[in-house]
Amino acid sequence: MIDSLLIHLENIWPYMVVGFGAQVIDGALGMAYGVISSTFLLALGVPPSAASAGVHAAETFTTGVSGISHILHRNVDWKIFFRLVIPGVIGGVLGAYVLSNIDGSVIKPFIQAYLAAIGIWLLWRSFHFPPEPKDPKWVAPLGLVGGFMDASGGGGWGPIVTSNLLVQGASPRFTIGTVNTVEFILTLSISITFLIHLGWEVLTQATLGLLIGGVIAAPFGAMLARHMKPQALLMAVGVVLILTSAFGVAKALGFIG
């Protein structure tokens, strides 16, 4: 029994490491858990719908812990929270339904290209951070688009919503905390939609590893959001996503065996 447990841990620990690292970055920056985790799973050959479903199942738990941590650190702007949550859920459910009913092999290169574009965007944002906080005007449309792209691409809520709120001059600390807290409700809705259409088989060993690593890391991300400048981490995430997504596109198109 001990040998079996050790073998299981040996198989699951890489996913735990990815989940831990992705959640620390996500909690500190308001983005990247879904994108990093999905990129990792897609690179291993997991079908897009299963990768997105598995990541969102794990995120249901990690974002719950992260949201509570951000609330305790007083990182949440409740006015923006309520402007994001309903459009985000509508977009997320629609995106999950679309991804569950199309051929994953056809859209895989497009998902990877989308993730690469997100990486380029994050890298660009690391050199152009808003200097003066101000109230954002475009909030609900970001929730709708971010929710849809998050479900259909396996990641995108944070990059799309957080980045665009920051472009409009929103406070980095409160933007990150608010987007993370809304994400719990979003991922719960997306996960339920995936389970209805794909069944419980989407909950794999990889999902469990991402979940464990993410839950352990969640409190640290909220703490970093309050005390640490995010530009350096933002730059690192952009570089990692560009490289991993470029590899995924090349593999999906047959340039890499």
User: What are the boundaries of each domain within the chain?
Assistant: 17-113+129-230
Instruction: Report which of 55, 41, 88 is spatially closest to residue 194, judged by C-alpha positions.
Output: 55
Instruction: Report which of 239, 168, 192, 201 is spatially closest to residue 46, judged by C-alpha positions.
Output: 201
Q: How far is CA 42 from CA 4, 49, 110, 150, 161, in A?
A: 27, 10, 12, 15, 23
Residue 34's pLDDT is 74
**pLDDT reading at 184 higher than 80:** yes
Mean pLDDT calculated for residue range 198-212: 71
**pLDDT reading at 49 higher than 70:** no
Distance from C-alpha of 115 to C-alpha of 113, rounded to nearest angstrom = 5
Residue 77's pLDDT is 92
Residue 5's pLDDT is 38
Unique residue bearing structure tokens 């569950």: 100
Residue 150's pLDDT is 73
**pLDDT reading at 164 higher than 60:** yes
Mean pLDDT of the chain: 76
**pLDDT reading at 239 higher than 70:** yes
Say what the pTM is: 0.70
**pLDDT reading at 13 higher than 70:** yes
Unique residue bearing structure tokens 């997306």: 190
Distance from C-alpha of 85 to C-alpha of 28, rounded to nearest angstrom = 20
Mean pLDDT calculated for residue range 13-41: 79
Residue 2's pLDDT is 42
Distance from C-alpha of 114 to C-alpha of 186, rounded to nearest angstrom = 20
**pLDDT reading at 54 higher than 70:** yes
* Total number of residues shown for the chain: 257
pLDDT grade, residue 83 (50/70/90)? Answer: very high
